[in-house]
Amino acid sequence: MEAIETRYRTHTCGQLRLSDQGKTISLAGWVHNYRDYGGMVFIDLRDRDGITQLVFTPEGVGADAINLARKLRSEWVISATGVVADRGVDDKGKSLENPKLATGKIEIRVKSFAVLSESPTPPFLPDDREQINEERRLQYRYIDLRRPTMQDTLRTRHRVTRIMRDYLGDLGFWEIETPFLTKSTPEGARDFIVPARLVPGSFYALPQSPQLFKQLLMVGGCDKYMQIVRCFRDEDPRADRQAEFTQLDVEMAFIDRENIISIIEGLLRRIWKEVLNVEIPNPIPHIEYDDAMKLYGSDRPDLRYGMKLHDVTDLAHTTDFGVFKNAPMVKAICVPGGAKLTRKETDALAEWAKGFGAKGLAVTKVAGGAFDTGIAKFVASIAPQLIERTGAKDGDLLCFAADRSKIVHKVLGELRLKMARDLQMTPTQEFAWTWVVNFPLFEWDEEEKRFNSTHHPFTAPLDEDLAKFDSTDRATIESIKSKAYDIVVNGSEIGGGSIRIHRMDVQQKLFALLGIDSESQKLKFGFLLDALHYGAPPHGGIALGLDRLVMILRGINNIRDVIAFPKTQSGADLMCGSPSVVDEKQLRETHIRVALPPAKPA
C-alpha cells in the first residue's frame, strides 16, 4: 500500500525497496527496536505496513541530534527524513540483508527527525514473540493492537467485508440498514433492553438479528438485500461467544434454496481464493440432516476426519451382552490407531461420556484380526461382522455407545472430535466444506411438552410436507422437513439460512403448532402477518457469522482476537471500564430504578 503523502511521511515502513535507492524520503511510526552502537544508532521503525531500519550517525543528523537519537526508546513515535541506501555487506563480505523483512535489503540514512510522542516503558511490548496475559492485553488494547498479528487480523477482516460487499454489490444486492432500537420479542434468546425515555415504562430491544426487517424489505420489493450488521444476544457467558457479534445478512426474493446456495458458495470461494489462495470444491457437497446425524452424530459434522458412526444394533442384539441386547440403538466408531490408548485413558473416556448423558462407553482394541481388552469377550461372537462393518484394522480402537439414538449420536459425535484432537490426527483436507440440508422443521421439547422451531418460526417447510401441518400426530409433525440450510466448515457452522414462509395462512398454522394462539400472534407478529397478507414474494436468505469466518481464515481459536475491542466472557470492557454505574439523573430520566438481587446470606 502506498502512503498518502503528508508532512510526516512520504512512504510507509513496508514500502521501500532497493529500487528506491538514493531517494530522499520520510517515514513515521513507532520505535520497534533500538540499538545504540556508541554514537551510531539503529532503529527499527514500525507502522501498519511493516518495519524499516533507520540509521542515525553524527555525520547524518549532526552532533546534537545524535544525542537525541540515543534517547529514543521503544514505542516512541517519530518522523524521520533520510536517504534510501543499500544495506550492503559487512567487513567479511556477508550480506547485511534482513530476509525476514520486505524492506530488508535497504536502510534509511537519517538526515533529520522529530520526536512526535514519547512513551514510558509500556506494560508490554507489541511483539508477537511475547506471551502476554490476556487481561493485560485487553486493558491496554491500544498497545496490543500494534502487534503485527493483530494488524494482520484486522486487515483480513477488512478484506473479507470488502469482498462480501463487492461480490454481492456486483450481483445487485443493496446494503440497507435496519434499526438497532427495535421491539423485544420474548421468543428465542434473551434481549438487551433499552429504556425509552420518551415513552415512560417502555423499552426498545437491541436486535438479535434483522430477520423480520429483511423479510419486510422483501415484501417491500427490495429484491436483493445485504448488510454487515451487529447483532446482540444477552446470553450467559461462553468462551466462544460475544454479546455483540457481526453477521453478513442476506435476503433475496423470487428464489429457491439452490439459488442462494450457489450465490453464497461463490462468495466463499472468492474469499478463500483471495485471502488464502485456497480453492473451495465446486459445488460444495450437501448432506441431509438425517445422514449427518446417522453418520457423524452431529448436524455440523467435521468432515476432515473419517470415523463414521456404524449402526451395529442388529449385531449387538444377537449377543448375550445385556448393555447391548437391551439398548434401542448401538453404534460404533473405529478410531484409527486408538489401540495405543492406555486402560486408564479408555476408562477416562467412559467417564467423559457420562457428561453427555450416556451410561458409559464400551471399547475394545483390534489386534490380530480379533478383539482384545475392554468388552472383547462380550462381543467375541460378532467380532468378524463388527470388524467387517466398521472396517477396523489392527491397532484401531472400537468405541460403542448403546442408548436412545439422541444420546448415541451425541456421545459418538463428540467422541469423533475428541479423538481427532487427542490423537492429533492428520486431517484429510485443510478445509472440509458441506451444506447440511433438510433439517426437521420442529423439535419436540420434552420438558415443556411442546414443539420448538429448529431454526426460527419463519422457516418454510418442504412443499411436499405442507399437508402434514394439519396432522395432530406428533411423529408426523416431527417428520416435517424444512427448507433450511447450514454451511459448515471443519465442524463449525459459519452460516445458516432458509427459504421463508411467504403465505400468511402457512405462517399462522406454524405459529399455532408452536402453541402461539391467534391473540399472541397478533400482538407479537401482527405486522409480519399483515405484510404476508399484502403481497409477499417467495423469499429466503442466509446469515454468515463474520467473527467465526475470520477465526477460521486466520486459524485463530479465541474470538476476542478477531475483534478490535472485545469484551471479556462476563461482558466487561477492561479498557473503558464498562459496564458501569450511571448517574441517578440518567435513571430518573429513563424512568427506571436499579433493583439489586437480595444479598446472599453469609
Task: Please report, as residue ranges, which positions from 534 to 593 form the binding site for a copy of itself (by CB under 8 A).
Answer: 534-538, 563-565, 567, 570-573, 575-583, 586-593
Of 502, 548, 554, 560, the residue at the interface with a copy of itself (CB under 8 A) is 502
Residues 6 or more apart from 563 whose CB is under 8 A from it?
Answer: 242, 547
Cα 158 to Cα 550: distance, rounded to the nearest angstrom: 10
Please identify, among the stretches 51-59, 169-177, 285-293, 428-436, the one whose residues bind a copy of itself according to the rule CB under 8 A: 169-177
- Contact 287/306 with Cβ under 8 angstroms? no
Question: Closest distance between a copy of itself and the C-beta of residue 119, in Å?
Answer: 4
Of 64, 91, 130, 177, the residue at the interface with a copy of itself (CB under 8 A) is 177
Please identify, among the stretches 170-178, 297-305, 454-462, 470-478, the one whose residues bind a copy of itself according to the rule CB under 8 A: 170-178
Question: Closest distance between a copy of itself and the C-beta of residue 455, in Å?
Answer: 21
Selection from 235, 174, 173 nearest residue 208 by Cα = 235
Of 21, 59, 71, 181, the residue at the interface with a copy of itself (CB under 8 A) is 181
Nearer to a copy of itself, 25 or 253 (CB): 253
DSSP 433: E
Q: Does 259 bind a copy of itself (CB under 8 A)?
A: yes
Instruction: Return the residues of window 100-129 that contact a copy of itself according to CB under 8 A.
Output: 116-120, 122, 126
Please identify, among the stretches 241-249, 293-301, 372-380, 381-389, the one whose residues bind a copy of itself according to the rule CB under 8 A: 241-249
Sort strands 286-288 and 362-367 into parallel, antiparallel or unpaired.
Answer: unpaired
The set of long-range contacts for 130-138, using a CB threshold of 8 Å and a minimum separation of 24, is 134/558, 134/560, 135/568, 135/574, 138/560, 138/566, 138/568, 138/573, 138/574, 138/575
Nearer to a copy of itself, 577 or 601 (CB): 577
Cα 71 to Cα 69: distance, rounded to the nearest angstrom: 5
Q: Does 327 bind a copy of itself (CB under 8 A)?
A: no
Nearer to a copy of itself, 199 or 467 (CB): 199
Of 39, 179, 427, 515, the residue at the interface with a copy of itself (CB under 8 A) is 179
Nearer to a copy of itself, 125 or 417 (CB): 125
Nearer to a copy of itself, 243 or 341 (CB): 243
Instruction: Return the residues of window 129-168 that contact a copy of itself according to CB under 8 A.
Output: 140-146, 150-151, 154-155, 157-158, 161-162, 165
Cα 137 to Cα 124: distance, rounded to the nearest angstrom: 8
Cα 217 to Cα 497: distance, rounded to the nearest angstrom: 16
Nearer to a copy of itself, 237 or 337 (CB): 237
Q: Does 85 bind a copy of itself (CB under 8 A)?
A: no
Cα 318 to Cα 332: distance, rounded to the nearest angstrom: 16
Grid cell 470461494 is found at: 269
Within 10 A of 448 (CB to CB), how many other CB atoms are there?
A: 9
Nearer to a copy of itself, 212 or 392 (CB): 212
**Residue 372: strand pairing partners:** 365
Of 220, 306, 336, 395, the residue at the interface with a copy of itself (CB under 8 A) is 220
Q: What ranges make up the beta strands (E) of 38-136?
A: 40-47, 50-56, 77-86, 106-117
Question: Closest distance between a copy of itself and the C-beta of residue 539, in Å?
Answer: 10
Nearer to a copy of itself, 96 or 181 (CB): 181
Please identify, among the stretches 63-71, 415-423, 446-454, 528-536, the one whose residues bind a copy of itself according to the rule CB under 8 A: 528-536
Backbone angles phi, psi at 269, to 5 degrees: -60, -45
Q: What DSSP assignment string belongs to 193-262? A: EEE-TTSTT-EEE--S-SHHHHHHHHHTT--EEEEEEEEE--PPP-TT--SEEEEEEEEEES--HHHHHH
- Contact 12/48 with Cβ under 8 angstroms? yes
Question: Closest distance between a copy of itself and the C-beta of residue 589, in Å?
Answer: 7
Nearer to a copy of itself, 443 or 589 (CB): 589
Q: Does 59 bind a copy of itself (CB under 8 A)?
A: no
Q: Does 503 bind a copy of itself (CB under 8 A)?
A: yes
Question: Closest distance between a copy of itself and the C-beta of residue 25, in Å?
Answer: 14
Instruction: Return the residues of window 423-462 that contact a copy of itself according to CB under 8 A.
Output: none
Grid cell 486431517 is found at: 427
Cα 489 to Cα 495: distance, rounded to the nearest angstrom: 10
Of 234, 311, 422, 493, the residue at the interface with a copy of itself (CB under 8 A) is 234
Question: Closest distance between a copy of itself and the C-beta of residue 42, in Å?
Answer: 19
- Contact 546/268 with Cβ under 8 angstroms? no
Nearer to a copy of itself, 359 or 524 (CB): 524
- Rounded to 5°, angle at Cα 385 from 383 and 387: 65
Nearer to a copy of itself, 24 or 578 (CB): 578
- Rounded to 5°, angle at Cα 84 from 80 and 87: 115
**CA 363 → CA 141, 375, 399, 412, 505, distances in Å?**
48, 6, 4, 12, 52
Question: Closest distance between a copy of itself and the C-beta of residue 103, in Å?
Answer: 16
Cα 500 to Cα 222: distance, rounded to the nearest angstrom: 16
- Contact 229/223 with Cβ under 8 angstroms? no
Nearer to a copy of itself, 50 or 301 (CB): 50
Sort strands 329-335 and 310-311 into parallel, antiparallel or unpaired.
Answer: antiparallel
3-class state of residue 426 by DSSP: coil
Question: Closest distance between a copy of itself and the C-beta of residue 367, in Å?
Answer: 52
Question: Closest distance between a copy of itself and the C-beta of residue 77, in Å?
Answer: 5
Nearer to a copy of itself, 55 or 216 (CB): 216
Instruction: Return the residues of window 9-38 that contact a copy of itself according to CB under 8 A.
Output: 9, 28-30
Q: Which amino acid is at 171?
A: L
Nearer to a copy of itself, 87 or 165 (CB): 165
Q: Does 206 bind a copy of itself (CB under 8 A)?
A: yes
Please identify, among the stretches 93-101, 277-285, 481-489, 532-540, the one whose residues bind a copy of itself according to the rule CB under 8 A: 532-540
Write the secondary structure of 117-161 as one string of H (helix), E (strand) and C (coil).
ECCCCCCCCCCCCCCCCHHHHHHCHHHHCCCHHHHHHHHHHHHHH
Of 531, 543, 544, 549, the residue at the interface with a copy of itself (CB under 8 A) is 531
Nearer to a copy of itself, 318 or 586 (CB): 586
Of 192, 352, 444, 469, the residue at the interface with a copy of itself (CB under 8 A) is 192
